[in-house]
Chains A and B, each alone.
Chain A
Amino acid sequence: MKITDEVRISDNGFIFNSKTGDSFNVNPTGLELTKLIAQGYDFDTIKNIFLQKYDLDDLTFEKDFYEFCALIKYHQITSQENPLDFK
C-alpha cells in the first residue's frame, strides 16, 4: 500500500489529491495513520506504535485500520493495487 505521488498531507489534517481534485479532512488519529502509511511502515509496525501510545486493544485497531485503508483506497489516496492479485 502506497500513498500516491499526487497526494499532499498537511500537518493540520488537510489532505489534497491533485489527481482527482478532491480534498479531505482527517482527525488526529487519521492523520497519524496516514503519515505512518506514507512513511512506508507495514501493518505490524503501525499496530505496535498505536498499541503503545493509545488505550486500545489489537482487534479494535485491526478493524479500524482496515476500514480506514479501504476508505483511503476508495478515495484514491493510496494507489490501486490489483485486488485479484493474491500474492
Chain B
Amino acid sequence: MEKIKYIKPVISKINAGMPSKFGLPVKQKVISKIDGITVSALIEEYGSPLFVFSEKTIRGVFDEAKRAFETRYPKVQFAWSYKTNYLDAVCSIYHDEGSWAEVVSGFEFEKALSNGVNGSQILFNGPDKSKADLIMAIENNACIHIDHFDELYLLIETSRKLEKKARVAIRVNLDAGVYPIWDRFGFNYENGDAWNAINRIMLAENLELIGLHTHIGTYIMAQSAYAIAASKLANLYMAIHRKFDYWLKYIDLGGGFASKNTLKGAYMPGNETCPSFDEYAEAISNALISSEIPHENLPVLFLETGRALIDDAGYLLTTVVANKRLSGGRRSMVIDAGVNLLFTSFWYNLGVYPTKELGHAEETTIYGPLCMNIDVIRDAIVFPQVKTGEQLVIERVGAYNITQSMQFITYRPNVILIDNDGKTHLIRKKESLETFKNSEVNPKR
C-alpha cells in the first residue's frame, strides 16, 4: 500500500473578532535567489551564515540617488560613508561611481587612501582626530571637518608646525525640528558658536575655510528637516560672503536618510513610510536654490548618505538550527546567525524570509545561536513551520552590520559579492583560529 504524504500536525486557536490589522492575511514572501543565484548554491559553496552583497543593487540604488539630486541641483558630490560599510570591495564600487570618501578616524582615512582615493577627496569627520591623524590629513590635502574648539586649536598649532595650509570646514549642529538635537557634535548655529568658530578660522593664517557641514541625525523620516538645515547653512554661507567677501566651496548636508527597514515599534513598514531620494532631493535643492545665494555662486552640495544607499544590497543567509516551544506554548526558532552579526536587529524588525513556500504560519520568536538572553533576531514574526537545516534569508542588512559586527563565541562568517555579471567573489574570509593567533600574545612564564 502506498503511504500517504505526511503533514505535521497543527493546532491553531481561533480568535474571534481579532482580524489582522491590515484586513487580509499576509502572503509569505519567499527569497530563493539573489541576483539569479540560488541561496542553497551560495550556502553550499561558502557556508552558513553568509553575508551576500549585490553589486547590481549597490549601483542601481546609487544611480537612483544621484539622478534624484543631479536633476534638481547643478553641483552634487556624494562621499561614501566608510563607517556604514568599509569593505574594500564595497567602497571601490562607490568610488568607481564617482563618490569621494567620508571618514571618521585615522583607520578609515588610511583605508580610503589604500583604496586609491586622492587625499583631497576625503572628508574627515568625527570628534576624535589625533595629532597624527591631523598631520596625515594636512599632508594629504584632505577636507578636515572641525568638530570642537580644542580640535580647531590643535589644527592651528599642527598646521603652523608643518608650515602647510589645512583645508577645513566646520561641523554645525542646529535645530532642524529633529529631537534630540545632536548638539554633541560640532558648533551650535543658534547660540552663535558656529559663527565664532568661522571668524576664528577666517583669521587663522594656516587654515583655509572651504565648506560648512552638518549631520542632523540618523534615519530621519522628515525631509523637511533637511530643508531647515540647508537654509541655516545657506544663511551662514551668505554671512561669510558679506563679512569676508569670500565664497565657500561647498555645503555638506551629511547623511541620515532612512533606509527601507522598519524601525521597532513602527506601525507601518519602512518601505511605505520613508521618504524617497526624490523627496529628500526636492526638499534640500529647493531650500538652497530659493535661499539668497546667487545662482552663479551656489556651492557644491555634498551628501554623505550611507544607510539608504547600501542597506538594500546586503543579505544574510542563515540556517535553522532548532525549533522549540517556550514554556507558555509560544513557538520559537534558533538560527545560526546572532545579534553579534546583526547589530541593526536592535533597532529594526529585520525581514526574515524562507527560501521556499512553506505551510502553516504561526507567531514565532527567532533567536540567534549565542548563549545570551539578548540574542533575539525577531521578537514576534508570523513565520511558517520550518525544519532544522532549512535556509532563510535576512534582507536589508547592508548598513552597519559588517562594521559593527562583533567576534563572539565563534568565527565571523564569509562575506561575498555577486558582481554585475552574476559571478561570486569572496570579499572577506571567514575568521579562523589563525586570525586570533596572529594578533594575540601569550606571555611566557
Contact = CB atoms under 8 A, between A and B. Distances in A.
Interface in A21-35: 22-30, 32-34
Contacts of B360: 27
A62 interface: no
Interface string B11-31: 111100000000000000000
Q: Using C-beta atoms within 8 Å of the partner chain, give the interface range for chain A.
A: 20 to 34
Contacts of B13: 22-24, 75
A74 interface: yes
Interface string A42-76: 00000000100111100010001101101110110
A23 B4 contact: no
A37 B203 CA distance: 89
Interface residues of B, number: 17
Contacts of B9: 26-27, 29-30, 32-33, 64-65, 68
Contacts of B6: 29, 50, 54-56, 60
Interface string B382-405: 000000000000000000000000
Given A22-B13, A75-B13, A27 B7 contact: yes
Given A53-B4, A54-B4, A55-B5, A30 B10 contact: yes
Given A22-B13, A23-B14, A75-B13, A28 B329 contact: no
Chain B at the A interface: SS class: loop
Contact of A25 (B3, B4, B5, B12): B12
A75 B3 contact: no
A28 B10 CA distance: 9
A72 B325 contact: no
Interface of B: 3-14, 323, 325, 328-329, 360
Interface of A: 15, 22-30, 32-34, 50, 53-56, 60, 64-65, 67-68, 70-72, 74-75
Given A55-B6, A75-B11, A75-B13, 20 more contacts: A22-B13, A22-B14, A24-B14, A25-B12, A25-B14, A26-B10, A27-B7, A27-B9, A29-B6, A29-B9, A30-B10, A33-B9, A50-B6, A53-B3, A54-B5, A56-B3, A64-B8, A68-B9, A70-B329, A75-B329
